[in-house]
Structure 1
Amino acid sequence: MSLADRLRSALAQGHAREVGLTTSDTRDPRIDGELVLAPAAVLVAITDRPEPGLILTERAASLRKHAGQIAFPGGRVDQEDASEIAGALREAQEEIALAPEVVDVIGTTDRYHTFTGFDIVPVLGVIPPDLPLTPQADEVADWFELPLSFALDPANRIKHAVQFQGVERHYYEIMWNGRRIWGITAAILANLSRRLDLDRLVA
């Protein structure tokens, strides 16, 4: 069975069972009350290797929001996009020159609501390994590939607490080769790990 088929089956099974996600798992802990959310999507691009990898980007230092942070390729879904999937593929092409036609789309997983007003749909896709990806300098400083098994392993996920407006909030952090993966990106990875039933393996 191909990697894409295995992921497709695992994701379908994950969404068919109750995994106990709470509002705090799918919503930025700083959100207090209701927000008007704009549609957005990110591409969780998994490389088709014997040991699959995950493509992440480092946002440009010049950006007004989330400068220098580690993120999935993605962004706002435009009116011209036919769907969240189309939006994620378009954004990945714009940010790292990942051609949409090489992405074998697996499906979508749990949405995440951000403090900055976005309803993010993670789109899973399998891509060939060693593609000549090129960062779009205005938005992306760099891109890198880390092992998917490391990114999804609950043992590599640290839960932190921080005080925000007098209330204790929690967020996840994953450290890999000196890179700090946290916030939205780490939360989406944590939710995906639960959907794929990986948290149970270390419980």
Structure 2
Amino acid sequence: MTLVERLHAALAARRDATPELLTGDARELDTREDHELTPAAVLVAVTDRPEPGVLLTQRTETLRRHAGQVAFPGGRLDPGETAIAAALREAEEEIALPRERATVIGTIDTYRTITGFTVTPVLAAVPADLPLRPSEAEVASVFEVPLAFLLDPANHREASVEWQGRMRHFYEILWEDRRIWGATAAMIVNLSRRLAWR
């Protein structure tokens, strides 16, 4: 079975299931309608190798928002753009991943952030070892984490911190010297609950 077939089957196996999914802090989001949030999309690019991996980026320290954090390639939708088109465009701009090299499997559950975005993860298979090149303005580095490691609930650590006078609860995933947390970790947790990966 090819990677594309495995991903399609893993996604289809739980399409009708209703797993408990994460979103931003519900107490803040309850008062906002979807149309008040900025639509965005990210590319969950799974590499086609015997042990598939997922491409992630380390953002530069000079960015105004989320500096230095680990993230999927992605960003806000342009007017009239679909989530799939935006995710592919952003991946091409941020890490030089040619959009024609990505085989889109489908979209995953939308994630609403406490910073005012509604993010659609786009699952895709990509060839292994593409010559990726980070955009100097946004991306410090591109790295790959084994898909099985990311999907394993044993690696999803719950944590909390006081921020702006309130306790914030979030997930984090530690991979080598990288800390994946916040919205990116939450989308990975949701993916692990949605994808029947073996």
Q: Could you tell me the TM-score, scaled by structure 1's length? A: 0.90
> Alpha-carbon deviation of 1:164?
4.5
Where in structure 2 are there 5+ consecutive unaligned residues? Answer: none
Secondary structure of the structure 2 residue equivalent to 1:159: strand
1:161-200 alignment runs, 5 A limit: 161-164=160-163, 167-197=166-196
Tell me which amino acid in the other structure corresponds to 1:162: V
> Percent identity of the aligned residues?
56
1:162-199 per-position Cα deviation (integer Å, ceiling 9, x unaligned): 3445654320001111100000110000000011246x
Indicate how the Cα distance of structure 1 residues 197 and 68 shifts in structure 2: closer, same or farther if over 3 A, else same.
same
Please tell me whether the aligned partners of residues 31 and 114 of structure 1 are also in contact (alpha carbons under 8 angstroms): no
Secondary structure of the structure 2 residue equivalent to 1:94: helix
Partner of 1:158: 157
Indicate yes or no: 2:79 matched with 1:73.
no
Partner of 2:105: 106
1:81-121 per-position Cα deviation (integer Å, ceiling 9, x unaligned): 2x100000000000000000000000011111112211100
Where in structure 1 are there 5+ consecutive unaligned residues? Answer: none
Tell me which amino acid in the other structure corresponds to 1:78: D
Indicate yes or no: 2:134 matched with 1:138.
no
Query: Hey, what's the Cα distance between the residues in 2 that align with 1:5 and 1:27?
Result: 31
Query: Hey, what's the Cα distance between the residues in 2 that align with 1:47 and 1:80?
Result: 29
Partner of 2:58: 58
Indicate how the Cα distance of structure 1 residues 122 and 166 shifts in structure 2: closer, same or farther if over 3 A, else same.
same
Indicate yes or no: 2:51 matched with 1:48.
no
Partner of 1:92: 91
Please tell me whether the aligned partners of residues 173 and 181 of structure 2 are also in contact (alpha carbons under 8 angstroms): yes
Please tell me whether the aligned partners of residues 11 and 196 of structure 2 are also in contact (alpha carbons under 8 angstroms): no
Please tell me whether the aligned partners of residues 60 and 141 of structure 1 are also in contact (alpha carbons under 8 angstroms): yes
Query: Hey, what's the Cα distance between the residues in 1 that align with 2:49 and 2:29?
Result: 42
Q: Could you tell me the TM-score, scaled by structure 2's length? A: 0.92
C-alpha root-mean-square deviation of aligned residues, in Å?
A: 1.7
Query: Hey, what's the Cα distance between the residues in 1 that align with 2:75 and 2:25?
Result: 16
Runs of 4+ residues over 4 Å off in structure 1: 164-167
Query: Hey, what's the Cα distance between the residues in 2 that align with 1:57 and 1:28?
Result: 24
> Alpha-carbon deviation of 1:4?
0.9
